[in-house]
Chain A
Amino acid sequence: MKNHLKSLRAERGWSQQDLGDRLHISRQSVNAIETGKYDPSLPLAFRIAALFGSKIEEIFEVEA
């Protein structure tokens, strides 16, 4: 699954640690999600979407 987490984070000038702190997850988790190594659970995806004021499908998309 692809995601736009890195660009959304960069727009706000947040580091991975900043984003992790806001989501109550580790920097490693943010990195794993950003690089596509790990797809978050639905509850975490909802938290990410809520934090950026977006819909889940605006942040995450299934790779063709």
Chain B
Amino acid sequence: MSRSPAIVRYLRRLAGFMLVYMILIFATGYVFRHMPPQKPLAYLVAVLPALPILGVFWTIFRLLVEETDEYMRMMFVRQSLFATAFCLTIMTIWEFLQNYEVVPAGHGGFGAAFFWFMGLGIGAIWNRITGTDGPCA
């Protein structure tokens, strides 16, 4: 399967942001373990690993804009909507469980972005199953 120019750009951007994320997540952890910054600098340093994740969101939304194949674009949009619904479902349920103290506070390091990306992966599988070989609702 040949990749569209938009997909090639998407993969390059994704690889770049993931590389930066890997560097920042280890660097930030190292800084907080060995030379913890004081506030307000701590806010800035703690937020650093989130920035490449925002970059990944931007990368995905650029794909939706730049993909010229309308069918593929529709499939990517569907995948993103699935991810959003999946993430909101998990987070909403988790929030209510916490509200009534059925589960402990905190989320064990798994934030909204984690579940959104998990939903994106499931959405890709769903697209593959239902895309050109099944009912494309």
Residues of B within 8 A of A24 (CB): 68-69
Is B44 positioned at the interface, with any CB of A under 8 Å from its CB? no
Q: Contact check, A38 vs B69: say whether CB atoms are below 8 A apart.
A: no
Give the distance in Å from the alpha carbon of A44 to the alpha carbon of B68 in the complex: 11
Nearest chain B CB to A56's CB is how many angstroms away?
A: 16
What is the number of residues of chain B that contact chain A, defined by CB distance less than 8 Å?
13
Nearest chain A CB to B136's CB is how many angstroms away?
A: 4
Q: Contact check, B72 vs A28: say whether CB atoms are below 8 A apart.
A: yes
Give the distance in Å from the alpha carbon of A27 to the alpha carbon of B1 in the complex: 8
Q: Contact check, A38 vs B136: say whether CB atoms are below 8 A apart.
A: yes
Q: Contact check, B68 vs A29: say whether CB atoms are below 8 A apart.
A: no
Q: Contact check, B71 vs A38: say whether CB atoms are below 8 A apart.
A: yes
Residues of B within 8 A of A27 (CB): 1
Residues of A within 8 A of B136 (CB): 32, 37-38
Is B131 positioned at the interface, with any CB of A under 8 Å from its CB? yes
Is B70 positioned at the interface, with any CB of A under 8 Å from its CB? yes
Residues of B within 8 A of A35 (CB): 132
Residues of A within 8 A of B135 (CB): 37
Nearest chain B CB to A32's CB is how many angstroms away?
A: 5
Give the distance in Å from the alpha carbon of A56 to the alpha carbon of B124 in the complex: 32
A-side interface residues toward B, CB under 8 Å?
24-29, 31-33, 35, 37-38, 40-41, 44
